[in-house]
Structure 1
Amino acid sequence: MRSIYLVLDMENDLVSADGPNGKGPLGQQVQSRGIIGRTAKAIAKARAAGVPVGYVRVGFSPDYREAPSTSAIFNGAKQHGLFKLGTWGTEVHKDLAPQPGDFDIVKHRVSPFYATNLEAILRAHGIGRIVCSGVSTVAVVQGTVRDGHDRDYVVTVLEDCCASATAEDHEAAIRTMQRFATFTTSDAVDFAA
């Protein structure tokens, strides 16, 4: 079964030490858990195994025309000027930089499947297994796991490459996903399996 490694929302607005969330609780969890370094290692392992890498990024036009007015999460982003496409904030963290041939999946909601090019990419490349990680565990990671599961993909989460604003939130999210995905680490993952 062909695999893809999806790197979820590892963009500057969320994970860079200089980004708006890098100075807050999420940034503290990203740093204390070593998420950037572990994710870089996982990306290198995927590339070495010939597994494609896809970068999922949340982003909006400068006027936020795609943002739902009914969403507390995305209204907050609009109020604070976060996730504007074409800015530093929506670029992937420099230590995880995409390479030519990698996939760029831009989303306007929590799930990377909703109204994006992701499913077309998976089908075009005969991919049946999604390996994923990123921030936050309670949002995009859960969205990927649940929507991937319901579309009949085999989903594996690299638990040590995920974080939420608190360790408790991360652990609770992992517990709730147990029935929908398998879990491993950046050290143990076998992308060729």
Structure 2
Amino acid sequence: MTSSIYLVLDMMNDLVHADGPNGKAAYGEQVRGRKVIENTRRAIDKARAAGVPVGFVRVGFSPDYRECPPNSPIFSGARKNGIFKLGTWGTETHPDLGQKDTDFDIVKHRVSPFYATSLEAILRANGVKRIYCSGISTNAVVQATVREGHDRDYEIVVIEDGCCGMSAEEHDNAVGGLKRFCKLTTSNDVAFE
């Protein structure tokens, strides 16, 4: 059994698909410009070849948004814009990433994939000691994963070219702040163990 997992963070249609609400906005531009979908798929294929399990983390809410925090600056637009509704196309993982039924599917209602989710139980049950991760946005879910994973004593490896923010500057600033808490690599260089 491997002691690693690759977490693909918030790579959902609402955020990264060209036909999604953010596809024609800042995120879409960064996703395409940085080739985030292609780089993430390369990393997923390498993880599978190495026998490392893959987990897809998705943010989502019930159709009535009962779990959505009403005063959250980051989630206040979800209810208003009708996005991040579980059970809809928007909260499905981008189809080009090839999610399988055997992959872990972790649904969250906040920025952190650790908060009130099944993630910790999955990591413990599978003896995970190292978390590889990538996704969007770098300064939200990736940063939360790195910091919280670090403080839970996991070794964290960020696949940097599978990440982006709403701008190159936002991404670069986030990566700069993460360097002390994780290892950085790329989809070409990552060696899944």
Q: Same fold (TM over 0.5)?
A: yes
Q: Which residue of 1 is the match for residue 178 of structure 2?
A: 177
Shift of 1:163: 0.5
Structure 2 residue runs without a partner (length 5+) = none
Q: Which residue of 1 is the match for residue 39 of structure 2?
A: 38
| Superimposed CA distance per residue, residues 32-84 of structure 1 (whole angstroms, 9 cap, x where no aligned partner) | 00000110010000000000000000000000000111201111111000100
Shift of 1:97: 2.6
Q: Which residue of 2 is the match for residue 56 of structure 1?
A: 57
| Superimposed CA distance per residue, residues 106-165 of structure 1 (whole angstroms, 9 cap, x where no aligned partner) | 000000000000000000000000000000001000010001001110000000110010
Q: Which amino acid aligns with 1:135?
A: I
Q: Which residue of 2 is the match for residue 99 of structure 1?
A: 100
Q: Which residue of 2 is the match for residue 80 of structure 1?
A: 81
Q: Which amino acid aligns with 2:87?
A: G
Q: Which residue of 1 is the match for residue 14 of structure 2?
A: 13
Q: Which stretches of structure 1, 4 residues or more, deviate above 4 A after TM superposition?
A: none
Equivalenced residues, count:
192
Q: Which amino acid aligns with 1:22?
A: G
Report SS of the residue matched to 1:72. Answer: coil
Shift of 1:179: 0.8
Q: State the alpha-carbon separation in 1 of the partners of residues 71 and 145 from structure 2.
A: 21
Q: Which residue of 2 is the match for residue 121 of structure 1?
A: 122
Q: State the alpha-carbon separation in 2 of the partners of residues 157 and 183 from structure 1.
A: 5
Structure 1 residue runs without a partner (length 5+) = none
Q: State the alpha-carbon separation in 2 of the partners of residues 40 and 50 from structure 1.
A: 15
Q: State the alpha-carbon separation in 2 of the partners of residues 89 and 62 from structure 1.
A: 12
Shift of 1:101: 1.3
Report SS of the residue matched to 1:50. Answer: coil
Shift of 1:100: 2.4
Amino-acid identity (%): 65
Report SS of the residue matched to 1:164. Answer: coil
Shift of 1:87: 0.1
Asked whether 1:47 is paired with 2:48, we answer: yes
Q: Which residue of 2 is the match for residue 28 of structure 1?
A: 29
Pairwise mapping of residues 90-169 of structure 1 onto structure 2 (< 5 A)?
90-169=91-170
Report SS of the residue matched to 2:122. Answer: helix
Q: State the alpha-carbon separation in 2 of the partners of residues 150 and 106 from structure 1.
A: 21
Report SS of the residue matched to 1:19. Answer: coil
Report SS of the residue matched to 1:7. Answer: strand
